[in-house]
Structure 1
Amino acid sequence: MGNTFLNLALLIIFHFSMPTFSMKLTTILTDQSALLALKDHVIHDPKNVLTTNWSASAPVCNWFGVSCGSKHRRVIALNLTGLGLVGTLPPYIGNLSFLSFLRIRNNSFRGKLPVQLSNLHRLKILNFGNNFFSGEIPSRLGSLTELRRLFLYQNNFEGVVRFSLGNLSKLEILSLFENRIAGSIPSSIFNISSLQNIYLNNNILSGFIPSVPRDLLLREGIDFNFNFNFNNLSGHIPEDMFDHLPNLKELALSVNLLSGRIPASLFKCKELQKLSLSYNQMEGSLPIEIGNLSMLQYIYIGRNHFEGKIPKQIVNLTILKGFDCSKNNFTGKIPHEIGNLKNLQLLTITSNNITGSIPPQVFNISTLTMISLEGNQLSGHLSSNMGLFLPKMEELYLGVNHLVGSFPMYISNASQFTLLDINYFSGSIPDNLGNLRNLKILNLENNNLTSSGMSFLFSLTNCRVLENFIFNRNPFISAELPRVGSIPSEIENLSHLIDIELGGNKLIGPIPTTIGGLQELQSLSFEQNKLEGSIPSELCHLNKLAFLFFTNNKLSGPIPACLSDLTSLRQLFLDSNVFSSSIPSTLTRLNYLLILYFSSNSLSGPLPIDIGKWKVLTSLDLSNNQFSGDIPTGVADLKDLTHFSLSNNRIMGSIPESFDELLSLEFLDMSRNNLSGEIPKSLEKLRYLKYFNVSFNRLEEEIPEGGSFGNYSIESFKGNEALCGAARLHVPNCKTRPLRNSKAKTKLKLIIYIALPIASTILVVALIIIILRNKRRKDKLPTQEDMKPLGTWRRFSYHELRQAIDGFNDSRLLGNGSYGSVFQGALPDGTIIAVKVFKLELEGAFKSFDVECDVLRNTRHRNLVKVISSCSNDLNFKALVLEFMPNGSLDKWLYSTNQYLDILQRLNIMIDVASALEYLHHGNATPVVHCDLKPNNVLLDEDMVAHLSGFGIAKFLCEEVSMIQTMTMATFGYMAPEYGVEGIVSTKGDVYSFGILLMEIITRKKPTDEMFAGERSLKSWVIESISSSLNQVVDPKLLSTIGREHLKVKNCALSILQLSLECCVELPNERLHMKEIVTMLKKI
């Protein structure tokens, strides 16, 4: 019996010891398998760390970035920080069951996080910061109860925070900044007693800030930092929020929609070091209790609606380094006690209603690096010793005030100055400004400064990094010396200048030839002086010059033909001088010219015959000269023109009918010329034309009444004796005017009887020719010879393409579409190309190839993707060789955390896309409907110019057909209602898709976003928010970089969203045409 029990006991012990023994043999292999799976999911290892180090032949615990525990010899830490790895995270990562520390920050991992991460129950630190992970944060992360630090910042996570923060009872740091996380701040966030740092900034969180539970007891000695900057949070800050946060160190709520006052409970936070409330809608005063927060180092409350006086109790903040209360409604004086803040580095009180003088004590704070007091009502004199005690001062802004007195003589002692902006001072300019050797910007505009000669300019030659010198509107002339008041030849020594402005200074003499030495110059302004002589040819050497202002001088001679060498020129102002001769024909080479003013000179001759080459010109003023001849027909090519004046010249002929193509035109003045004929009725199409004047010409017949013409008075038409029209214009009634004589009537009848049969015959013949051509086009298969839009076409074989894209390697894959994949390749000569390989096993792929060939063969436009060639191997292989777009797709730029498009870039991209659609719809005999407009089909070249691609389901419309029916489906969310329901394809369907694209590019929300469910859509969301809560729909990243342009950005976004709604009206016939859309976008 005893032996039986002994054997049974041994059997039980052996049974339970086997798994333990087995675990020691197999679990390290489990770790190895998980890590090798991770290695397999890395598609790019630029430093070859994993490639050369992670091998099954070496012990796992010796692999790079891997650490094992001493007890179980299991992997407890993985650190792959900053290796530049590209790949995805496999689910097998969840098998590293002993893992406590997981760090893969600063790489390029992408895709969704595997839910198996929730198996890592021992995990204490998870750091995936600065990658490209996307999708929602898995809700099961809430089961990682040992987690102390969670870093998911700078990724593409979206949606709401669904995992239960309340379960993470040991969490100390939560860092989710710079993602696209929406919804409200989880109320459970303040229930975690261990939580010290919360970083949720730069997301799209909305709603109210949750209250802190009253029973929350925080441990002594723990520092707390809350950063919710750059979101859409609204409402008041909870009044009792800070009752239980005595150790709060940082409170950052800038760039939100918060309102109300600063809660009194905030002043219980005696440890507070940084307070950031800028760019909100908060109001009330800055309470005197602010002085109780003796640990404060930074106060940022600019761009709100605060009012009252700046409390003198601020003097108690003895370690304060930064104080910014700019753009509020503060009144009263600057407290002189500020001079006692001996650690202050930044003082910004810009754009308030501050009065009185600047306390001299301010200029004794030796730690100051920047003072900005511009835009107030400050008066009085500056301290005479200003500059003596500012050794670290870099930027000083005192403009737009009422300061008087002499120029501060000791300012050159502040040798670290990089920017100096002061005005309304008098006296002489010190010759020792050259001591400011770090000076980059010197703005002395609107002063009353004088100089004995130009000696101070000679001193500035020591400022080797000076880029902007602004000296407009100073007297700058004296009777003491004959050379005083002229521009010295030594100006060439300011060789780093980018911008020089000397307007309104009574300067005399010629423009020195040495001006050609300023090779970095981009803007040159000498307007409103008394300069004489001709423009020196040396000026034409300034090939970076973009802005040239010589308005209102006494310059003479011909306009130099060499100005055409200034290919970067955007604005050219030579008006109000005494230039003679004609406009040089070479000037039309300035393809990027936006504004040209030659008015009030003595110029003569005809207008340039190729005036239409100024394609992007917006303003052209040639008034008050002696120009003659007809108006060139090329003027109609100036599609962006908003201001055009030819008044008071000797122009003859008629007003071109093609003027109706100038859809952007707002101002048109052709008065006091010798124009004859009728006023074209087609000008009624110019919907933006606010000013129109053709008075004192020889015009005749009826004055149009439609469009903007209903707003003009007799002043626009007087001095034309043969005009007739409405009684309100005080001209004869056209209906009562008979034909001049019977011969005219007979001539009219003869024209009708002869012209009508001829016109009918021509029309029938034209229709037959068009039908036959279309039939031939449809019958013709696309060949390589057809695919020759670029002058460098060559023939490609399958093997050449395979070699160019490295055997269709996934590492060359740029993206996948409905019918194919696009690869990056390189030709033997180094040319980078994109190759679209069609998946012929898919139904519709053959047709898609033929359609893309057909579209790209028959279209040519700068904003369409260019095809280089094609490769077709019967039924086995079909590919298009396309121009490579190095900046990828618009989708990539919109939804990447590492790339950003500002409002101007977005607007330019939209104009490019609209221009491409305008060409497709209206630029060919056969309109083309794209049918699949979306961000993935908008590609960006190296200059960020947009090119439309993805013509796989495009449709051709016959001239006589405005719509067709099809079963081909476009991308859900972008297609027009009539397309999805009835399969009706028309150009108006593209207009609808473009409207959705406009909404997406401003809101950074896809129409398929999960927030749009049921009856709610991107369109309805924009309609709901556009009038009352614009900030909630505009991409926060646009509002996060607003600076001084906040209002402009919002107005621009509003205009674009309003246009998008006009594009997306339900009835196709009520939608705009792309021509109108292009015009409206350019006007924004």
Structure 2
Amino acid sequence: MNPLQNLKVLSFPMNNLTSSIPATIFSISSLLNISLSNNNLSGSLPMDMCYANPKLKELNLSSNHLSGKIPTGLGQCIKLQVISLAYNDFTGSIPNGIGEIPSNLSHCRELRVLSSSFNQFTGGIPQAIGVYLGSNGISGPIPAEIFNISSLQVIDFTNNSLSGSLPMGICKHLPNLQGLYLAQNHLSGQLPTTLSLCGELLFLSLSFNKFRGSIPREIGNLSKLEHIDLRSNSLVGSIPTSFGNLKALKFLNLGINFLTGTVPEAIFNISELQNLALVQNHLSGSLPSSIGTWLPDLEGLYIGANEFSGTIPMSISNMSKLTVLSLSDNSFTGYNPLKGTLPNSLGNLPIALESFTAYACQFRGTIPTGIGNLTNLIWLDLGANDLTGSIPTTLGRLQKLQRLHIAGNRIRGSIPNDLCHLKNLGYLGLSSNKLSGSTQVVLEIFCATELFLDSNALAFNIPTSLWSLRDLLVLNLSSNFLTGNLPPEVGNMKSITTLDLSKNLVSVGSTVTLVVFIVLWIRRRDNMEIPTPIDSWLLGTHEKISHQQLLYATNDFGEDNLIGKGSQGMVYKGVLSNGLNVAIKVFNLEFQGALRSFDSECEVMQGIRHRNLVRIITCCSNLDFKALVLEYMPNGSLEKWLYSHNYFLDLIQRLNIMIDVASALEYLHHDCSSLVVHCDLKPKSMQQTKTLGTIGYMAPEHGSAGIVSTKSDVYSYGILLMEVFARKKPMDEMFTGDLTLKTWVESLSNSVIQVVDAIY
């Protein structure tokens, strides 16, 4: 590289580069941009990396395997505007003086972005650093000096353990700040009124902290603000009327606080507003009659668990983009349009509506047949009201419905055969009604994984076909008038976690059957803590979410949302408009076979129903963009829990994890509608699947001849089992020549204590 003395840009992102970065690269004095992100580079950075690079403006080394300390000489790159070191293995504390991340970065006067998210830094924050240090385990207060770096455009310390309060003069020296992200910390105190001095601010995210006091009315002076998220704090008082001045506002979430009073009418007149979330406060009053005219772009209205009353305005039907309407736990009454009842005009709500929740709203009367017109509904919740009559057959038109909850009413009659048409239904809650007749119809809803039919007046012999529903996770038929015997076939329900037939007339046919039932109950009891799949937002069809929605959910696929990468693409964390956290796998269409991989993953994953396997929620498929939207696993990968210093798994936890993995593998190999071979069992893939194997985990015949079979998975499982209990990677430096993890364990088979992780 030495002869390249005129080179200005060195860019090799998203390749498969390995080994360390040649030190000679940092000797090219003409370089302005070094971009080597998304590779497999390892090793450390030279301490004097900037001595010969005074002109360097951008350094992007994110998403590699670089380690060691951040060079103290980084501050010599005085022209640096962007530094991205995120998603590596850098270690050490973040001191206030010269050290791992040196305070002399303050010499970089043109610095706009510094990203070091997802490394293993600990301790406090250096006083001269202020951007993109999310998810690093940083503790202590935020030094006030950070808010004196006038060039900063973004400050992101999301998901750390920061404490203390914000300085009262927080924005006096931040004229260019556009994003302030301090969510998911332990910050407290009152919100500073000087936030209004950040005149360029677009994003204000302070959720999931311990802020108290009232919301400063001065925030309403931030005319460019597009996003406010103050949910899950201890804020009191009323919503400032000045918020009505925020004409550029698109997202407002003040949920889960202690706010009182009425919602300023001017907020309902912000025409750009797309999501309004005020859940779990003590807000009262009524909705303005013209809400549907004033908010034409509104996609989500979340006002549940408050004290709203009055009528639900007819103008809501004008909100053509509305997809979520959550009114639960309020006291809506009146005559027009819902009249304290649910009239047929409910079917005139926007056709785009995907979620209608009106739980515990004191509605009475019957369920209107017009609700069948809302053909895009995914979630319908009318539970805990005073509804009577029967279940309308028009519900059978709701082909996309995945969650139907009508429990806690006075519904009579039988369950209509039309519910058989709901092939995407995952949750059916009809508990605590007065339903009668047979539930044979329910047995034909093969996609359902949770069935709650308890506390009704159902009377029939339990059909033997019930025990063939292998995808069921929860079945509650208690407190009815069921008869018949409990057969041995109950043991066929391999995925079930809850089976309740109590308070019926069911008898146990034999001692063997009783033993089978007890064993089944014990086996499932210990798995009750495992979260069940998110059926309420399993969309079931591929082209259900738009590229624009994914951009919004991931902050334009921002680097701070990146949680993983592979040869086929990247995985981002996102938050959908309904508040659901998801993982979004974006395929790299330049990778050979990416399209085929996308299609096959869609086909395979949409049919998977198992509590230990990540479920596909939906996908986005355009000519030039392919992405899967999956359940988000907040605890991260098994690899993180095994090898990160601030995480720990005891012996029992490791055993339970491997039992769960075995259960999932058994399901893929034997209980799926079609055989599925995982091909890449390893700690890092415990939260996402890939199609190619990894060296060290592959069976010999897979690596040498490309032969793929269930035996390959079993071999990989064996290697994984050894790794989990020994806490040694198959590619550990101790394994050279003929010595492998497998042969090492075999050689110590008579002395297991030497194999088991010393941490025990």
TM-score by length of 2: 0.71
Distance in 2 separating the partners of 1:444 and 1:912: 39
Q: Which residue of 1 aligns with 2:68?
A: 207
Distance in 1 separating the partners of 2:748 and 2:462: 47
Cα distance, 1:465–1:627 mapped onto 2, change above 3 Å: same
Cα distance, 1:311–1:642 mapped onto 2, change above 3 Å: same
Q: Which residue of 1 aligns with 2:232?
A: 375
Partners of 1:368 and 1:392 within 8 A in 2: yes
2:339 aligned residue (466, 479, 484): 484
Q: Which amino acid aligns with 2:240?
A: S
Partners of 1:591 and 1:615 within 8 A in 2: no
Q: Which residue of 1 aligns with 2:484?
A: 629
Distance in 1 separating the partners of 2:486 and 2:711: 35
Deviation at 1:157, TM superposition (A): 2.1
Task: Note the alpha carbon deviations across 1:34-85, whole angstroms, 9 max, x for none.
Answer: xxxxxxxxxxxxxxxxxxxxxxxxxxxxxxxxxxxxxxxxxxxxxxxxxxxx
2:57 aligned residue (196, 209, 229): 196
Cα distance, 1:374–1:994 mapped onto 2, change above 3 Å: same
1:151 aligned residue (11, 18, 22): 11
Cα distance, 1:359–1:651 mapped onto 2, change above 3 Å: same
Task: Give the SS at the match of 1:562.
Answer: helix
Task: Give the SS at the match of 1:445.
Answer: coil
Q: Which residue of 2 aligns with 1:994?
A: 717
Deviation at 1:398, TM superposition (A): 0.5
Cα distance, 1:1016–1:898 mapped onto 2, change above 3 Å: farther
Distance in 2 separating the partners of 1:183 and 1:902: 33
Q: Which residue of 2 aligns with 1:722?
A: none
1:275 aligned residue (131, 141, 145): 131
Q: Which amino acid aligns with 2:394?
A: E
Q: Which amino acid aligns with 1:614?
A: L
Distance in 1 separating the partners of 2:500 and 2:223: 56
Task: Give the SS at the match of 1:378.
Answer: strand
Task: Note the alpha carbon deviations across 1:265-310, whole angstroms, 9 max, x for none.
Answer: 44xxxxxxx7221111112222222342222222111211221111
Q: Which residue of 1 aligns with 2:384?
A: 528
Partners of 1:380 and 1:403 within 8 A in 2: yes
Structure 2 counterparts to residues 283-362 of structure 1, below 5 A: 283-316=139-172, 317-362=174-219
Cα distance, 1:287–1:902 mapped onto 2, change above 3 Å: same
Structure 2 counterparts to residues 484-633 of structure 1, below 5 A: 484-494=339-349, 495-583=351-439, 585-633=440-488
What residue ranges of structure 1 are gaps of 5+ in the alignment?
1-140, 267-273, 659-678, 693-812, 816-823, 825-831, 834-861, 864-896, 937-943, 951-969, 981-986, 1022-1060, 1071-1084
Matched, 1:688 2:688: no
Task: Give the SS at the match of 2:495.
Answer: coil
Distance in 2 separating the partners of 1:210 and 1:235: 12
Which piece of structure 1 moves more, 286-295 or 535-544?
286-295
Partners of 2:219 and 2:243 within 8 A in 1: no
Cα distance, 1:253–1:607 mapped onto 2, change above 3 Å: same
Deviation at 1:396, TM superposition (A): 0.5
Cα distance, 1:902–1:304 mapped onto 2, change above 3 Å: same
Task: Give the SS at the match of 1:179.
Answer: coil
Task: Give the SS at the match of 2:667.
Answer: helix
Q: Which residue of 2 aligns with 1:467?
A: 323
Task: Give the SS at the match of 2:268.
Answer: helix
Distance in 2 separating the partners of 1:143 and 1:1066: 53
Q: Which residue of 2 aligns with 1:429?
A: 287
Q: Which amino acid aligns with 1:191?
A: Y
Task: Give the SS at the match of 1:160.
Answer: coil
Q: Which residue of 2 aligns with 1:663?
A: none
Q: Which residue of 1 aligns with 2:586?
A: none
Deviation at 1:166, TM superposition (A): 4.2
Distance in 2 separating the partners of 1:685 and 1:504: 35
Cα distance, 1:1006–1:974 mapped onto 2, change above 3 Å: farther
Higher share of residues assigned helix: 1
Cα distance, 1:900–1:611 mapped onto 2, change above 3 Å: closer
Q: Which residue of 1 aligns with 2:562?
A: none
Cα distance, 1:299–1:946 mapped onto 2, change above 3 Å: closer
Deviation at 1:264, TM superposition (A): 2.9
Distance in 2 separating the partners of 1:650 and 1:176: 69
Q: Which residue of 2 aligns with 1:753?
A: none
Distance in 1 separating the partners of 2:499 and 2:479: 13
Deviation at 1:519, TM superposition (A): 0.4
Deviation at 1:577, TM superposition (A): 0.2
Task: Give the SS at the match of 2:220.
Answer: helix
Cα distance, 1:623–1:283 mapped onto 2, change above 3 Å: same
Cα distance, 1:626–1:934 mapped onto 2, change above 3 Å: closer
Deviation at 1:569, TM superposition (A): 0.5
Distance in 1 separating the partners of 2:250 and 2:737: 56
Cα distance, 1:401–1:209 mapped onto 2, change above 3 Å: same
Distance in 1 separating the partners of 2:711 and 2:161: 45
Query: How many residues in Structure 1 have an aligned counterpart in Structure 2?
Result: 611
Deviation at 1:262, TM superposition (A): 2.1
Cα distance, 1:382–1:912 mapped onto 2, change above 3 Å: closer
Distance in 2 separating the partners of 1:597 and 1:655: 27
Distance in 2 separating the partners of 1:498 and 1:910: 36
Task: Give the SS at the match of 1:416.
Answer: coil
Partners of 1:153 and 1:175 within 8 A in 2: yes
Partners of 2:85 and 2:115 within 8 A in 1: yes
What residue ranges of structure 2 are gaps of 5+ in the alignment?
528-591, 606-624, 639-659, 682-687, 704-709, 753-760
Q: Which residue of 2 aligns with 1:95?
A: none
Task: Note the alpha carbon deviations across 1:507-563, whole angstroms, 9 max, x for none.
Answer: 100000000000000110011111000000001110111100011100011111221
1:438 aligned residue (293, 297, 319): 297
Q: Which amino acid aligns with 2:269?
A: N
Higher RCO structure, 1 or 2 (CA under 8 Å, sep 6+): 2
Deviation at 1:461, TM superposition (A): 1.0
Cα distance, 1:249–1:475 mapped onto 2, change above 3 Å: closer
Q: Which amino acid aligns with 2:302?
A: N
Cα RMSD, aligned residues only: 4.4
Deviation at 1:634, TM superposition (A): 4.2
Q: Which residue of 2 aligns with 1:1048?
A: none
Q: Which amino acid aligns with 2:455?
A: S
Cα distance, 1:576–1:372 mapped onto 2, change above 3 Å: same
Distance in 1 separating the partners of 2:477 and 2:679: 43
Which piece of structure 1 moves more, 300-309 or 607-616?
607-616
Distance in 1 separating the partners of 2:696 and 2:743: 16
Deviation at 1:321, TM superposition (A): 1.5
Give the fraction of aligned pairs with identical amino acids, expressed as a percent: 30
Distance in 1 separating the partners of 2:678 and 2:458: 49
Partners of 2:188 and 2:210 within 8 A in 1: yes
Cα distance, 1:343–1:190 mapped onto 2, change above 3 Å: same
Cα distance, 1:491–1:289 mapped onto 2, change above 3 Å: same
Q: Which residue of 2 aligns with 1:852?
A: none
Task: Note the alpha carbon deviations across 1:786-831, whole angstroms, 9 max, x for none.
Answer: xxxxxxxxxxxxxxxxxxxxxxxxxxx989xxxxxxxx9xxxxxxx
Task: Note the alpha carbon deviations across 1:368-391, whole angstroms, 9 max, x for none.
Answer: 11111111100011223531x111
Structure 2 counterparts to residues 394-409 of structure 1, below 5 A: 394-409=250-265
Deviation at 1:164, TM superposition (A): 3.4
Partners of 1:913 and 1:946 within 8 A in 2: no
Task: Give the SS at the match of 1:311.
Answer: coil
Deviation at 1:489, TM superposition (A): 1.8
Q: Which amino acid aligns with 2:477?
A: L
Deviation at 1:464, TM superposition (A): 0.4
Distance in 2 separating the partners of 1:483 and 1:691: 45
Structure 2 counterparts to residues 889-908 of structure 1, below 5 A: none
Matched, 1:263 2:126: yes
Distance in 2 separating the partners of 1:445 and 1:919: 40
Q: Which residue of 2 aligns with 1:179?
A: 39
Matched, 1:386 2:246: no
Q: Which residue of 1 aligns with 2:652?
A: none
Distance in 2 separating the partners of 1:973 and 1:279: 29
